[in-house]
Structure 1
């Protein structure tokens, strides 16, 4: 596959599901391939790359969404594990790291280098997981 084709396949928007990693995640969850809880990062991880950050933002949005607001094809039972208090807390901490700054988040760094979309991305990515 050429670099040009790769660039065209890379979806990149400010919403929690507006990127390639999140789209793939939603497809996998909808198909029942795996439990999304297994994608939560290790607490000892010091830096999250951009792909991990995209997944964390999407998982946080799924965990915080009301059942009626889940993306099409995602059943509440498929994300129920993300809503358990211990996993929700771990996800909250991971999301805070992703949104903190470029020293711990490759995704933050990528948005920091964008044309003025950092604040829009942060606003659309943050959800209340308390």
Structure 2
């Protein structure tokens, strides 16, 4: 995964997700994993972080809020909240958290702070 910073859209997987949304080729239900105890791969974790921020209202240029309606349903917001919690927990559950942990404690904490968002 190409990463250039700790923000929710600062990686190749999130950039591809945003491009797909702009082009209208996205089905959020297919991208959201089922909630449960399993290992989350880094690419899926990056998309979960990006989708959580989109659902919470952080919308990059070129994306219209209407394109995010299905992501913002109460059911999907709850799925995202639980998935995001798993992604930023630790490397035993999330490959992405494990990769950030390898970057050092300061970078890990910065990434977690940038990735966390309230999904009420």
Name the TM-score class by shorter chain.
over 0.9
Give the total of aligned pairs: 119
Match of 2:74 in 1: 85
The whole-number CA distance in structure 2 between the counterparts of 1:40 and 1:54 is: 12
Which residue number corresponds to residue 101 of structure 2? 112
3-state SS, counterpart of residue 34 of structure 1: coil
The aligned counterpart of 2:91 is: 102
Q: Which runs of 5+ in 2 are unaligned?
A: none
* TM-score, normalised with respect to structure 1: 0.86
| Contact map agreement 1:35 1:78 (CA 8 A) in 2 | no
In structure 1, list runs of 5 or more residues that go unmatched: 1-6
Change (3 A) 1:52 1:45: farther
What is residue 125 of structure 1 aligned with on the other side?
Answer: 115
Which protein has the larger Cα radius of gyration, Structure 1 or Structure 2? 1
Counterpart position of 2:12: 20
For normalisation by structure 2, the TM-score amounts to 0.93
Which runs of structure 1 show a deviation greater than 6 angstroms over 4 or more consecutive aligned residues?
Answer: none
Secondary structure class of the residue paired with 1:117: helix
